[in-house]
Amino acid sequence: MKQVTIEHNMAIECITTMMRIAELDYFESYIEEHKFIECTIIKEKLHTLRNRLNLFEKNDLDILFKKFKLNFYYLLLFITKTNVTTVSDLLDKLKGLSSDEYLAECFRISSHNISIDDDDKTIYEAVTERYSIEDAELFIEFKNNTKLLHTKLINIIEAFYDKAFKREEEWIKREIDPILKNHIILFNENKKGFLDCIGNGNYETLVNGSKDVKINMCYLEEFIPRYLFDKDTYIFVYGFGEEQKLKGKSNGINPQEIFKTLSDETRLRIISLLSQKRWARKDLVKEIGLTSATMTYQLNKLITLGLIELIAGGDSKKTLYTLNKQAFRELINSAIDEIIL
């Protein structure tokens, strides 16, 4: 790594909290899958934050963060590039952007190779190559109603901040500071090991690569790591609750869970393909004949075991997947050793 930072950013905390509230159903399945123990206080706090919004604001939150998730990644990149640290500064800078600038940047990081000058048919074909018809229709709606959606994005962030989030900032800072200090120590002791546990995957390439790495820890999102490649920077966001993986790893591995995960025929097919070369997800979807959602589910199962490395593509806009053969052999051998004493 050329340069690495691990920190807490209140602007990123705000948008990840909005994302979690919009994706409560997904969070519940993720927590159940990983057998995490939720913080009751945070769970109640999120419920309270959502209830501070009116019905129309809740609807806009769902549309702009759940249905069109690209808004979240755009904001994550925008905050990082402009060195914004507060929600007020974020809002000021967003208001200073034109709608076309906003749309162009969203399309640039979408990995679909589309631009604001493309017609609806080109956008439709590019998006459906990897995602659903509904996703393509959202992109087209976004392009044709950019000014309205740009305004709505600013308004929902402003409403959420003023009505719900602002009063919680001091409490969040008190809670997160000691956790952050501990995570910085753990990270400096073993960078790759820390990222392998906190994130979903094997980060050998990242640790030994040439990109700058910006790591942001969040409190209210609590779980789910998110990442974004952009040119010379790798942006990684995770909830502090992912530290339960660190504790779980120290307690040893579960052979039953490992063999259960690897007994699936589709996952074995994916492992075989990834052992031969690097693959983009859309190419795996075509090769195996799965839906994009099912492929994501299957990849995440393998990523959780640390068997897959995530690598930025040559154009820096898409993620490639490859098998970490050494990690795979070590995992199998460790599971066997747990059974045969």
**For residue 15, what is the enclosing H or E element?**
helix 10-22
Overall fold of domain 252-339: Arc Repressor Mutant, subunit A (1.10.10)
As a whole number of angstroms, the distance between CA 212 and CA 321 comes to: 20
**Percentage above 90 pLDDT, the chain:** 28
Ranges of each domain in the chain: 4-244, 252-339
* Collapsed DSSP state (helix, strand, coil) of residue 312: strand
How crowded is residue 89: how many other Cβ atoms within 10 Å of its Cβ?
A: 15
- Taking a C-beta distance cutoff of 8 angstroms, is the pair 134, 68 a contact? no
Which amino acid, one-letter code, is at 165? F
Tell me what pLDDT residue 207 has. Answer: 62
Non-local (6+) Cβ contacts of 103 within 8 A are 116, 142, 143, 146, 150
pLDDT in tens, 202-243: 566 666 667 778 889 999 988 878 888 777 778 888 888 877
- Taking a C-beta distance cutoff of 8 angstroms, is the pair 236, 16 a contact? no
**Ramachandran bin of 289, using left for φ above 0, alpha for ψ from -120 to 50, beta for the remaining angles:** left
Angle at 132 between CA 127 and CA 138, to 5 degrees: 65
Tell me what pLDDT residue 170 has. Answer: 94
As a whole number of angstroms, the distance between CA 187 and CA 173 comes to: 20
- Taking a C-beta distance cutoff of 8 angstroms, is the pair 116, 100 a contact? yes
Tell me what pLDDT residue 250 has. Answer: 44
Kindly state the average pLDDT of the residues 306-313.
Answer: 71
* Collapsed DSSP state (helix, strand, coil) of residue 177: helix
- Residue for token digits 């501070």? 52
- Residue for token digits 């906003």? 102
**Percentage above 70 pLDDT, the chain:** 88
Range of 21-25, 175-179, 299-303, 310-314 with top mean pLDDT:
175-179
As a whole number of angstroms, the distance between CA 196 and CA 245 comes to: 9
Tell me what pLDDT residue 157 has. Answer: 97
As a whole number of angstroms, the distance between CA 106 and CA 102 comes to: 6
Q: Within 96-216, where are the H helices?
A: 99-108, 120-128, 133-144, 146-160, 169-189, 191-198, 204-207
SS3 content of the chain, % helix, strand, coil (to 5): 65, 10, 25
pLDDT category of residue 71 using cuts at 50, 70 and 90:
confident
Record the tokens describing residue 310, joined without a space. Answer: 């995530």
Paired residues of 287 in beta bridges: none
pLDDT in tens, 133-170: 887 888 888 888 888 889 999 999 999 999 999 999 99
- Residue for token digits 């393509």? 136
As a whole number of angstroms, the distance between CA 150 and CA 37 comes to: 37
